[in-house]
Amino acid sequence: MTTWNLQGTVSHLLICNGSSCRKHKGEEVAAAIEQEIGKQGAEARIHTTVTRCNGRCSDACVVIAYPEGVWYQGITPKLAKKLVRKHLKGKQLKENVVYTFNKKLKAVDQRGGKGKQKP
């Protein structure tokens, strides 16, 4: 098992690879993010984790950025590269933001608020 030294990490991207996100190129999104991180020389600044399901299947492919607490929807391999570049500048991919975090998750608009209530 690998244990990464995360000193210097400023952003953690959680990339959904549940079944809906995989149908929407989730594996390719993860690969594009990793490639862009490498291209930008940002391996020590951005850490990635591929997850199983982030619970927002209708928003596939979902990428969550922490500590910002921003949930992105509809991320494609092309947008994934743009997302990395934006995050390195401290910016967001605004057109794809579905949730933001400010002491609690908040939907950006009505569409983001739709979904099933958790039991």
pLDDT tens sequence across 68-83: 999 999 999 999 999 9
How far is the C-alpha of 13 from the C-alpha of 18, rounded, in Å? 15
pTM value is 0.87
Lowest-confidence region among 85-89, 97-101, 110-114: 110-114
> Do 20 and 55 touch, CB atoms closer than 8 A?
no
Q: Please check the confidence at residue 18 and state whether its pLDDT lies above 70.
A: yes
Q: Please tell me the total number of residues recorded for the chain in this structure.
A: 119
Q: Tell me the H-state helices in the chain.
A: 19-23, 26-39, 77-88, 110-113
Q: What is the DSSP letter of 6?
A: -
pLDDT computed for residue 3 by the predictor = 76
